[in-house]
Each structure stands twice: as C-alpha cells, then as structure tokens.
Amino acid sequence: MDVKQKKEGLGMTSRRTRNRLVARLREQGISNEKVLDVINEIPRHLFVDEALAHRAYEDTSLPIGFNQTISQPYVVAKMTETLLSGPPKKKILEIGTGSGYQTAVLAELVEKVFSVERISGLVKRARRILGDIGYRNISFKHADGGLGWENQAPFDSIIITASPRTVPESLLNQLADDGSVLAPVGDGDNQELVLFKKTGTEFQKTVMEPVKFVPLLAGTS
Ligand code: SAH
C-alpha cells in the first residue's frame, strides 16, 4: 500500500466513514468547525492496531497496547474545543501522549505541542506515527507528566488525558497568565472534566461533564 492510500484509507477507513463520525460529533454538540475539520482529516486508523483499523472511525475508545486506550473521538473533540475557547493558544502541554491521536489534533490547531508520556513504548510508538504523518511541531518526553515540563514553561494551556485526584501543583505553576488547565479530575468511576482558568493568582473552576480516563500514575515505566 502506498503512502497516499495509507493516509486516505480503504474500506472501513474511507472518507465516508470519517464523514459519518464528524456528523455524529456534530449531533453530540461539537460545534467548532476547525476541530471537526481536523478530525475529518487525521487518519485515526494509523493510531490503532491494524486488526482494529476497521473500527477506527467509530466513536469509541480502543486498546493501543500497554494496557492503555486511545480516547473516544467525542472526548478528544470536546476537550480540544474547550481548550481552544478563550484567548488564543500557541503553546500547549499535553500529559499522557498515549496513542498520539489527541496530540495530532492539537498539533493541527496550535503552533507547538509538548507531550509527556510515562510509558516508554508509547512514546516511541507515538513519535514514529506522528513523524511518519509529517508533524514537525511536537516535542515528546518520556517522564512523569505530573511534574510538567519545567524548562519549556509557561504554557498557554495544559491538557491532562489521564485522571488525577487533584491537578498537581507543579502543573498549575507552569501556566502562563490567563492560561488554563483541562483535566478529568476524580477517582476511578467518579471523574468529571474540569476546566481551571487562571486569572492573576486565582483559578476559576468550571465543571463540564462526567468522563472515564485511566488514572494518572506517578513514575515511569
Ligand atoms: N489522549 C490519549 C489518551 C491516552 S490514555 C490518546 O487518545 O491516545 C492516557 C495516557 O496517560 C496513557 O498512555 C498513560 O500511560 C498516560 N499517563 C498516565 N499517567 C501519566 C503520567 N503521570 N505522566 C505521563 N503520562 C501518564
């Protein structure tokens, strides 16, 4: 299969299945056209195992090995749309690279994405896939994302795609003025998507909706 075919996809990964996914996201309330366009363009089937490629444009999370999953497209769309609201964002820190799919969506919409993942096998995999597709505005790091990426701070926004009980203090400290953090905060089955907007030294908290993410774990593996 040549690269063009691979990118365009065949059969269940075709243009029509992607359009169906975007229509579904629209029905569920996603309204940012740039986000919808990007989801329509990014070949999500390249981020899942080949055996599951035929399910890549269903609105569902799927296994990516290492006991982790690629997030559901609706959740990726919702988080991206929320993150892009408010003042323009140039520099974003993502905690939990996973498959790299959310990373790709962000890389299409902002100038520079810094992404941290604690599982080395996933960092390698995401680096390869995103490199093959041709992204040049992503920096990867294998580390405990709870510590952030201090020497690249401050960030306009921080997105956490694994669930912390509370947002780590070190991440809040790496935000720019007017910056925001978006995170699935909670415990096991009790998680909600929360947006923290910084103004001066204060944080304004907005609770969005219930979500289900794997836990944010300390250390690396
Ligand atoms: N947005 C990703 C979601 C991946 S699942 C996607 O769509 O593919 C969450 C990821 O967070 C997992 O890969 C997990 O290993 C990672 N993770 C959990 N705790 C972490 C930590 N402290 N630092 C960095 N990554 C972490």
Cα 96 to Cα 91: distance, rounded to the nearest angstrom: 16
Whether 61 is in the pocket of ligand 1, judged by its Cβ within 6 Å, is no
28: closest CA among 79, 74, 76? 74
In this prediction, residue 200 carries a pLDDT of 87
Catalytic residue numbers?
71
Residue 186 has pLDDT above 80, yes or no: yes
Ligand 1: atom nearest CA of 99 is 8
Gap from CA of 119 to ligand 1 centroid (Å): 8
215 domain residue, yes or no: no
83 domain residue, yes or no: yes
Whether 117 is in the pocket of ligand 1, judged by its Cβ within 6 Å, is yes
216 domain residue, yes or no: no
Gap from CA of 1 to ligand 1 centroid (Å): 31
Are the C-beta atoms of residues 181 and 148 closer than 8 Å to each other? no
Q: What are phi and psi of 163, to 5 degrees?
A: -90, 115
Q: What are phi and psi of 154, to 5 degrees?
A: -85, 155
217 domain residue, yes or no: no
User: Concatenated DSSP letters for 97-122?
Assistant: -TTSHHHHHHHHHSSEEEEEES-HHH
Per-residue pLDDT reduced to its tens digit, 124-173? 999 999 999 999 999 999 999 999 999 999 999 999 999 999 999 999 99
**Strand-strand pairing, 190-199 and 175-187:** antiparallel
- The CATH code of the domain that includes 170 is 3.40.50.150
> How does residue 15 score in pLDDT terms, banded at 50, 70 and 90?
confident
**Domain hosting residue 25, numbered range:** 3-210
Ligand 1: atom nearest CA of 69 is 5
Whether 119 is in the pocket of ligand 1, judged by its Cβ within 6 Å, is yes
134 domain residue, yes or no: yes
120 domain residue, yes or no: yes
Q: Give how many domains the chain has, as a whole number.
A: 1
